[in-house]
Each structure stands twice: as structure tokens, then as C-alpha cells.
Structure 1
Amino acid sequence: MNPREFKINIPDERIEDLARRLRATRWPAAMDGGNWDDGASLTFMRRLVDHWSNRFDWRAQEARLNRLSHCMGTVDGQELHFIHQPGHGPSPMPLVLTHGWPGSFTEMERVIPLLADPGAHGGDPADAFHVVVPSLPGFGFSAAPASPGTSAFKIAEWWLKLMKGLGYERFAAQGGDIGAGVSTWLARRFPDQVIGVHINYIPGSYRPPLGAGQPPVTAQEQAYLETVAAWSSAEGAYAAEQATKPQTLAYAMTDSPVGLAAWIVEKFRAWSDCDGDIERVFTMDELLTDVSIYWFGQMLDASFRIYKENRLRPLAFEASERVATPLGVAVFPRELPTPPRSWVERVFNVQSWTTMPRGGHFAALEQPHLLVEDVRAFFRPLRR
């Protein structure tokens, strides 16, 4: 794989182009500028763009992010960006952390040092991990896939080769959102190489076997299915578009930074434990750093298209199939609809199921210490 050092360095002309586009924004009207019921609030978006234009310093964010150990490598012809932070402890466990949409590798910025060097952060050095944080293909600084078929199924294979290329023959996995899908595919496809998997989201494409020979759907499971249907009807338009016509969406988002910001920021508000006040959980700079990475990456068609790929290759199981790899689940209260434990145990070997006191979909950003402690606790017995 020949990993090589990488530093983020966005050309000045692309930063200047962004500034010009922000100045030239054509704003829509709104019946109620402060309301989020119809989508991103006009009042908030005007404040966000004012901050982006007049106070946000990309070079400062770039310098901070460059303190992480960035690398580039090639797996099966696919150029991948990743962070590789060796652990400090008596026997660190290799761990691949995978982000989702609309996140990026920056989601993991707070948890990387806690996982890699617990002794320096009030923890036990015996809980140390060698931490690897790849950017999904077409996200951040990983190249866009060159051909169709790059679903979580395929990415799991690339992660296996990435980890082996770094010298890790056996390793652990953790993820949320799309990262949970990649992690569970790792558990399913490569049980001999994957020590265990910890997730803070149940993949939306997960389909356990049902019907003849299977346990009947419980009342709790049926209530979950009804909740999912209601949520999809009220909140799922973004996923339907990205999973069916991602290219059409990409034209608008590639051309308008404000349109892209509205598309992303609305999800950070809706899916986080913020009680409607997005700035209670995320700073303007945190939001804009994530949005800027999508903007500068110029691969929005690919970052949307992964929804279509995952729809075409869902995490569906045959009647007799079971996954033996140990699974740990952290359930945050403001996560998207989450099934009961019994639904996941129809297929997976669930060894840990933790109900968290607070936090939402972006667990590594919202509650890094809660997430890290649960990851440490889950993998502790698997180190033996």
C-alpha cells in the first residue's frame, strides 16, 4: 500500500472562489425566517454565512487539523486518505473508526487522542488503541470511486486491505451512520480478522430474516418498524433523493456553497441532542469546517451516491445466517430511530448494549468521553 504523509493545503484560489460565491449568494424568501419546520432556517443561514464570510478562518482550521497524523494510500487502485495514530500502552489494539454522512474524519478529532493515549487523559494505558480513521471514498480527501459498486460492502474489503497494509492482521472496528454499515459488513465478511465491532447506529439497510422458521415480530419490534415508517415519511426526503438521483442533487450543491451548507447543517440540528438550538452543541467553526471539507473536496456526487450504492446492496440476511463477531451497541437518546436489542440479536452476537444518558447521531462530536468509555469497556474483555 505504501502509505505516505499528507498535509491539507487548499490552494488560495479555491478559498478566494468560495469567498466570491458567498458574496454573490441569492437568498430565498421564507414565510417565517426563524422557523426550521420547512428546512434550514433563513435567519440562521444568514448568520452562518456572515460568519463564514467575515470571521471563519479556514487556514486556522487547516493548521489545527494538520496536527493529526494524515496519510494517503492506495488500495486496489483507490486513493484513500486516513489518519493513523499509533497507540501508547502495553499492547494497543488496532481500531478502524469510520465516519458517515454528513460528517467527515473531523468527527473523530476529539476521540482519537482519548483512544490512542488513555494514560495521558486520565485513563488506563491498557485500554490503548492504534487508531486508524479513513475518509470514505468520495469524502474528505479520499478520491471518488471510479466505477459503480462502492457500497459499504465494498468499502469493508478496502478497510481490511488498508489495515493489513499498515501491519494489522487482526483489528477492531467502530462507526456510526455509514460507518456502522462498513463496520457491520467487516464483522459479517471477515470474522477471522475482526476482533469485534462497536457501533452507535444500527444501519438503515439492516434487514434480518423474517417469516417461516423465524421468531415472530414482537410488539416492541413492530412499534419500531412503525416509527421508522413515520420518520421516513416526515424526515427521509434527503435519503430518498441521495439514494435515487444523487447526480441531480450534486449540480446544485457543487455550485452553491450556501445550498450545501443548508443541506448539511439542517441535519446537524435535526439529529443532535440540541433541543432545537444547534449552537448549544456545535460551534459555527465546527459546522463550517465540516461543510468546507465537503466544498473543497469537490466530490459531492460521490458522497451522495453512496446512499444509492447501499440501497442496491443492503445489509440483508438469509434465514440461517448469523454473525459470530462480538458486537457492542451504544444507544444515544437523540439518535435516529433505533430498533430494540432483540431486532439486532436476530442476526448479530450482541455482547454489550448501552443506553446513553445524552447525545445524538454525531456521538464522537457530541459526547466523545461517553463514546470512548463505552468503546473501551466493550473491547476490554476481547483483549485477552
Structure 2
Amino acid sequence: MSVPVDPTPRTATVAAVPEPRAEADLTAVRPFEVHVPDAELAELRRRLAATRWPTRELVPDRAQGVQLTTMQELTRYWASEYDWRRCEARLNALPQFTTEIDGVDVHFVHVRSPHADAMPLIITHGWPGSVLELLDVIGPLTDPTAHGGRAEDAFDLVLPSLPGYGFSGEPSVLGWDSGRVARAWAELMHRLGYTRYVAQGGDVGALVTDLMGRQAVAGLVGYHLNLLTAVLAIGDHLPKESDQERAAAEAFATFRQDGFGYFLEMATRPQTIGYALLDSPVALAAWLLDHDTDSYQKISRAFVDGQPVGRLTRESIVDNVTLYWLTRTAASAARSYWEDARALAAALASGQPPPAVTVPVGFTTFPGEIWASPRSWVEAVYPGLAYFHEAERGGHFAAWEEPEVFTREVRAAFRHLR
């Protein structure tokens, strides 16, 4: 398939207004580079220096939210030691592109393997992540022989930024829930010439990937997940007989009772929180850090104790926060939760079960996940489960935190589809 390519690189400044394009340009795949003006970085440092701090929390843990010591050390590092240009150069060393799909410019990294017969794989990030959380798996997945693997495990990688996230465009109309993203991703793979491919996702990316399967999009022959999003809809009906099942149920109950704040706010009032996130870089950082207990403790340890876990380093964490800040996407990203909450409510109100999955599904449970789903739970959602494994380490942001473990799982999950 011939892919139309506009050879002129598009440069990402900050909050750029999309250029008007002729109808013939709409399906073009356009090279893309990131170049943030110096003035934007200077303004970021000015805002960091002008932060108005709250008093210290009244509890010894994160029960009241992100702790003051963590935020002050993150801000000190961000303002005095952090270098965005290193992240920018790393992105620009990769083949990046944009293409318009359904009225939205989609940014993606597309790395072809040097090995023949590589399997095309689209991986979708989640919130509060970005394509940055996937960068450390690019080399091992596309060129396994250079990273201790076998040539027959090679993938061509497509790593898109969700609409409203990162360097993708912001939807200007309602209806961009994960189901619509799933259809857009199928169009993206078709546009790139892939007629047979697999998909992977965690967090929001797990929902997008699962909906690709349930929509039976053309070309998809299997997928792998590391979060069981169906628990949000049917968690009360899953088995709770074994110790592992009861532990997962308790973790899910804790999430709904004590870890649901960010989720509920974005699912109901994304615009309200957006004002703070677009105006204060420290508010943005705190909001992105306050996700799940496991990842928060690891991130806090990286800043307060100087002891990062895996690749959750100070630098990589601030890379991701800075990307949200410079692209002004915190509010549009939050709106994706609002869209998905309404789509889920409508699906549940219909009383109809979701469409069956007809392609093989693989699943990896990481021990630090918000709810570490046991095999029985996964099989309740995917009765013909093709691959299941419990990883030895890693949490919610598996590819970011433990890229070597994540890579091994992805290779194993899709090996039978080669």
C-alpha cells in the first residue's frame, strides 16, 4: 500500500494552531519534530519559582494527598537541574509523524524493525502517561538481537499519542471516547499499510486496545493487556474465593474508596481541574503524581531518597510532566475520562453484554498494579485466554518502570501468532 507522505517536517511549538490544509493533504503522513521556544522554558522556571506552597500535610503518609516534601524536592530539581532539551533531542532522534484522522491530528512514533518479517504492533499509553513511558522498549522490541533477543521476536512499532494528549491534536467536538480512538487506531494502521497486526495497552490504553478487539477492527489478529479494565464495570461479580482473588477484590475496594479522587474529578468535572493544571506547573505535577499508591511511593522515593525504582527516575518523571505542561494538554486529557465515563454508563444502561472477542488475548499481571488481577478474573472476561503470566516485578506503568520485563512479556504473548 502506498502511504502519502508530505516530506516537509512539521515543528511542534507550543499551543500551535493547526495549519489549514487542502482536502488532499488530510490523509498524508507528515514528518514531525519538537522544538520548544526558549521563552516557554524560561516562563516555566518563572512559574516554578513563584509557587505558593500549602502547609505540610497533617498525616505521616499520603492519606491527604501528595506530600509537601516530595513536591518541594521535585520542584527544586525541575527548576534548577532538569534539562528539557535532552528529552526533546531523544524524541527528535526517533521517526515521528502526524496524520489527520477523523478531524484530529494524531502524533505517533513509527519505528520499523531492521529484521525481516517483523510483526506490526501498536502500543497505546494511558493517563497520566504519554509516549515517553514507552521509549525504553523501542530498541528491545524492534531490534531484539541487539538486546539479547531473537530476530524472530522483532516488531515494527507504532506508538501514537492519544487525542488530546502530548503532541496529538485536541478534539474540538464531543464523542472522542476510547471506542472512537480504537477506530482511529485501526485507520492509522491501515494508512501505514499494515493489514495484519497486534496491539498492546495498559491503563487507558488497555481500554482502547480491548475495544479494538471487541469492534473486530480490520487487521487486528491479537492483543495483550496489563490492566483488566472490565473490573470497573463487573468487579463486584468476579470470584473472591482464593486468597489471590480476595486480595485483588480488597485492592479494588481500596481504589474505589480511597484512590478514586483523580478518576472521579476528571470523569465528572474535567474543565474545573483544568484551570489549575494549565496555570500552575506544580499543581500539574502533583495531579499527575497522585495516581496509585505503588507508583506514588516509587516516584517519591526517587526524589526524596534519591533511590529510583527501575526507570522511574527523577529525569523521566519530570520529562512526562513537562510534556503535559508544554503541550497544554492536561485539560483535554482529563476530558477523555469524561467521555469514557459517559460511554461506560450508556453501555451499562443498555443492559447488553459487550461484543465477544474473537482474536487471541494475552494478559500479564504485574504485582504492583492497582488491582493485580488473578488468572480467574482474566479468564472470566476472556474465556479463551491465549497467554497469561504473573510478572516478578513492576506496577501500573509497567513499560516505563520495568522495560526489560515488559519486553519479555510482549514477546511471549505474541510468539504463537508469528
Please report the TM-score for the alignment, with normalisation by the length of structure 1: 0.92
CA 1:140/1:248 → structure 2, altered by over 3 Å: closer, same or farther?
same
Displacement after TM superposition at 1:151 (Å): 1.1
Deviations 1:229-259 (A, max 9, x none): 3321111111010110010000011100001
Letter in 1 for 2:322: S
Displacement after TM superposition at 1:49 (Å): 0.8
- Residue of structure 2 in register with 1:280 after alignment: 308
Aligned mate of 1:271, from 284, 289, 295: 295
Please report the TM-score for the alignment, with normalisation by the length of structure 2: 0.85
- Residue of structure 2 in register with 1:246 after alignment: 270
RMSD of aligned alpha carbons: 2.4
Aligned mate of 2:139, from 110, 113, 118: 113
Letter in 2 for 1:94: P
Displacement after TM superposition at 1:85 (Å): 0.1
Structure 2 residue matching 1:240: 3-state secondary structure: helix
Structure 2 residue matching 1:313: 3-state secondary structure: helix
Deviations 1:279-320 (A, max 9, x none): 422222111100000001112221011111111122768358
Displacement after TM superposition at 1:344 (Å): 2.9
Comparing 177-186 with 220-229, greater Cα deviation is found at 220-229
Displacement after TM superposition at 1:204 (Å): 5.3
CA 1:29/1:283 → structure 2, altered by over 3 Å: closer, same or farther?
same
Displacement after TM superposition at 1:346 (Å): 3.1
Letter in 2 for 1:70: Q
Aligned mate of 1:79, from 80, 84, 105: 105
Structure 1 residue matching 2:98: 3-state secondary structure: strand
Structure 2 residue matching 1:5: 3-state secondary structure: strand
Letter in 2 for 1:263: W
CA 1:122/1:3 → structure 2, altered by over 3 Å: closer, same or farther?
same
- Residue of structure 1 in register with 2:95 after alignment: 69
Structure 2 residue matching 1:6: 3-state secondary structure: strand
Structure 1 residue matching 2:404: 3-state secondary structure: helix
Structure 2 residue matching 1:336: 3-state secondary structure: coil
Letter in 1 for 2:43: D
Q: How far apart are the structure 1 equivalents of 2:294 and 2:376? A: 27
Matched, 1:311 2:346: no
Percent of pairs with identical residues: 38
Q: How far apart are the structure 2 equivalents of 1:27 and 1:272? A: 20
- Residue of structure 2 in register with 1:330 after alignment: 364
Displacement after TM superposition at 1:269 (Å): 6.1
Structure 1 residue matching 2:389: 3-state secondary structure: strand
Displacement after TM superposition at 1:37 (Å): 2.9
Q: How far apart are the structure 2 equivalents of 1:67 and 1:4? A: 16
**Contact 1:97 / 1:132 at 8 angstroms: preserved in 2?**
yes
Matched, 1:363 2:393: no
Aligned mate of 2:75, from 24, 46, 49: 49
CA 1:373/1:270 → structure 2, altered by over 3 Å: closer, same or farther?
closer
Letter in 1 for 2:51: T
Q: How far apart are the structure 2 equivalents of 1:226 and 1:243? A: 23
Q: How far apart are the structure 2 equivalents of 1:275 and 1:62? A: 22
Deviations 1:198-251 (A, max 9, x none): 11111156545999xxxx855356774454233211111110101100100000
**Contact 2:57 / 2:68 at 8 angstroms: preserved in 1?**
no
CA 1:205/1:310 → structure 2, altered by over 3 Å: closer, same or farther?
farther
Comparing 41-50 with 25-34, greater Cα deviation is found at 25-34
Q: How far apart are the structure 1 equivalents of 2:57 and 2:218? A: 57
Structure 1 residue matching 2:117: 3-state secondary structure: coil
Matched, 1:219 2:241: yes
Displacement after TM superposition at 1:67 (Å): 1.2
- Residue of structure 2 in register with 1:372 after alignment: 407
Letter in 1 for 2:286: A
**Contact 1:273 / 1:358 at 8 angstroms: preserved in 2?**
no
**Contact 2:179 / 2:208 at 8 angstroms: preserved in 1?**
yes
- Residue of structure 1 in register with 2:23 after alignment: none
**Contact 1:116 / 1:131 at 8 angstroms: preserved in 2?**
yes
Q: How far apart are the structure 1 equivalents of 2:197 and 2:264? A: 34
- Residue of structure 2 in register with 1:167 after alignment: 193
CA 1:366/1:210 → structure 2, altered by over 3 Å: closer, same or farther?
closer
**Contact 2:224 / 2:362 at 8 angstroms: preserved in 1?**
yes
Structure 2 residue matching 1:71: 3-state secondary structure: strand
Matched, 1:94 2:124: no
Letter in 2 for 1:370: V
Comparing 25-34 with 39-48, greater Cα deviation is found at 25-34
**Contact 1:70 / 1:84 at 8 angstroms: preserved in 2?**
yes
Q: How far apart are the structure 1 equivalents of 2:300 and 2:281? A: 23
Comparing 227-236 with 164-173, greater Cα deviation is found at 227-236
Q: What is the number of equivalent residue pairs in this alignment?
A: 379
Letter in 2 for 1:50: R
Displacement after TM superposition at 1:179 (Å): 0.5
Aligned mate of 1:233, from 236, 257, 276: 257
Deviations 1:92-140 (A, max 9, x none): 1110011000110001100011111111212111111110000001111
Matched, 1:340 2:374: yes
